[in-house]
Chains A and B, each alone.
Chain A
Amino acid sequence: MTAAVLAQLQIQDPNEGGASCVAENGFCPAWIADNFDRYLGPLGEHVFLTVVSVVIGFTIAMALALLAHRRRWLTGPIITTTGIMYAIPSVAAFFLLQPITGLGNQTAIVALVSYTLLIIFRNITDGLRNVPAEIVDAAKGQGLTDGQILRRVELPLAVPEIMAGLRIAFSTTVGLATLAVFAGGGGLGSEILTDRFFQSNVVVAGGLAVLLAAGFDLILLAVQKAITPWQRGVPA
């Protein structure tokens, strides 16, 4: 207790205090300021892992959702399969994949993609399914083909739910990507693991991951607002 209080007080001294703070394993702003640069690379890798995984996951999930939209019976099997993938403990997945895909980012990405599928697939299919029947009927009755109904009516109206799925997928993936280090991937996780008992290190690396998740969420929210002008000022 006394040591901790001392450590806090010592932070006030930027020169000597820094080293002492590190020795005491405290929260050391001076050390963080000096060493912040080393987190930028891993942060970039983390962004890369997340974006690539969600984009691939979104592409696959969208293809599966469109398939299931035409052939309803496929919905069950797809949800079961992606559900099993989602249920595999993430650390286990990173290890399990290594014999097949080796060590590195590709293994991490395969695992991360597999976690996004269920979330995104469900949200796309829910979004498409929640388009009111009378709107589809009106579209059909005016002579839109099935493809035109999908592109011009169903997908645009499913945007809010699809975006909700993407936001969950991004937050989840940012979190899971901190474990990519177990698959030999980079990212903020490797920084955490390098010095996982040093408080300042863990706080910075972890904090950046949290900020990253929040950043993605805000960007997606802004995008959603921009592409759904019809929802503005309208009660849900």
Chain B
Amino acid sequence: MPEPSHAVELEFRDVSKRYPGSEESVIEHLSFDVPAGEICVLVGPSGCGKTTAMRMVNRMIDITDGDILLGGESVKAKSAAELRRSIGYAIQQIGLFPHLTIADNIATVPKLLGWDKARTRDRVDELLELVSLDPAETRDRYPAQLSGGMRQRVGVARALAADPPLMLMDEPFGAIDPINRERLQNEFLRLQAEIRKTIVFVTHDIDEAIKMGDKVAVLKKGGVLAQYAAPAELLMAPADQFVEDFVGADRALKRLALQRVRDIDLWKAAVVQVGDPVDEARAKIADSDLPIPLLVDSERRPIGWLSEGAMRAERIRRDLRSPAEPLVELDDILRDALSDLLASETRYAPVIDSRGAVTGILSLEVISHVLHDHSLSTSVASNYDLMPAP
């Protein structure tokens, strides 16, 4: 029953917006492409026209000059109502219909499109599951009976109802508390990895933009495009002072949020076990990047950092200077790993793989090197690309 998911390319072609009687443009010659299946975040300070730009896509606001193309076809080709039925629409205030049940809310567009009852019902249940809500429990309730986070999910489900190739989302998580917002963002990224829609996402929050976007369009006052780039590029090479200021003084740290421990070159550790010959251990130390050997068990799982005294005899004894804390995992985001190091007041930590075995050492020096190195290159993995390295 579920139809093949599809997405379209979105193209802003020299789009301008001026209101009658006003000299100043709200949007000024805006041009950019969003490839099919990618999230484009429109971000900028208030009054930069980001919401206006988004609302011109489904013609909630008329285009003064230029054109917007969906899969090569002008948005002006169809009637506004017909166009809007083919574009998912989710807004910060959600705007669920309080007098309709959750099922009827989600079925809004399918009903307009004349789907039969069975198909609509199946689709509603499928969507509720997709956004992690229990269909049997949620279907017949009214919006006022749900929590804010649940309502937000229903809003997303409603926008997805007729499987539109394009979704518009205006600060969809803006009214949610920080903890739930983080959760909804992650959930949405997982969902997007599955449905692969083309998405225009509006936010004023640069952190959210960097997290959510495959591409980020930074707009400044008057609807001028300041920079259109992938998040990493935005952080590494801001196009001008405005973008540099907007991404913030901590852009180096933000960049760490885009990388995982597995993406970088780690220090080599001197890994020893109890009973190893001390000579052998000394050779390992000479060959490693850190002069302190790491004691591991038979599965190469870290036990702790060895003390000087442990190597006084012929064989390694179990004599620790400190436990192996913190432990960093290969899939950890660099920012979180750095935070762990700082919190433990240590300069280095063992990195373990999914089985718990040591694969290297992460140190402050490594991170600092990464920051320096990557300011010159642009080879940074996409932030939500969770595919393991080949």
Contact = CB atoms under 8 A, between A and B. Distances in A.
Given A143-B85, A145-B81, A134 B95 contact: yes
B109 A156 contact: no
B112 A134 contact: no
Given A157-B98, A230-B99, A230-B100, A141 B84 contact: yes
B96 to A, nearest CB: 7
A228 interface: yes
Given A141-B89, A142-B112, A230 B96 contact: no
B93 interface: yes
Contact of A140 (B60, B82, B96, B112): B60
B99 A144 contact: no
Contacts, number: 72
Nearest to B58: A141
Interface in A143-162: 143-145, 148, 152-153, 156-157, 159
Contacts of B168: 141
A223 to B, nearest CB: 15
Given A230-B144, A234-B144, A142 B89 contact: yes
Interface residues of A, number: 23
A135 B109 CA distance: 15
B201 to A, nearest CB: 15
A230 B81 CA distance: 27
A142 B94 CA distance: 12
Interface string B139-176: 00010110000000000001000000000100000000
Nearest to B95: A138
B142 A230 contact: yes
Interface residues of B, number: 26
A138 B94 contact: yes
B60 A137 contact: yes
A139 interface: yes
B81 A144 contact: yes
Q: Is the interface of A mostly helix, strand, loop or mixed?
A: helix
Contact of B99 (A132, A145, A148, A228): A228
A7 B95 CA distance: 67
Nearest to A136: B95
A234 B99 contact: no
B124 to A, nearest CB: 15
Contact of A139 (B86, B94, B95, B145): B95
Given A137-B60, A142-B112, A144-B112, A230 B98 contact: yes
A134 B89 contact: no
Contacts of A138: 89, 91, 93-97
Contacts of A140: 60, 84
A156 B105 CA distance: 14
Interface string B103-119: 00000110010000000
A143 B84 contact: yes
A137 B58 CA distance: 12
B95 A135 contact: yes
A135 B158 contact: no
Contact of B81 (A143, A157, A233): A143
B253 interface: no
Interface in A95-136: 132, 134-135
B112 A143 contact: yes
Interface of A: 132, 134-135, 137-145, 148, 152-153, 156-157, 159, 228-230, 233-234
Nearest first, the 5 A-B pairs at minimum CB distance are A138-B95, A143-B85, A134-B93, A143-B84, A141-B89
6 contacts: A135-B96, A139-B95, A141-B95, A144-B112, A152-B97, A234-B142
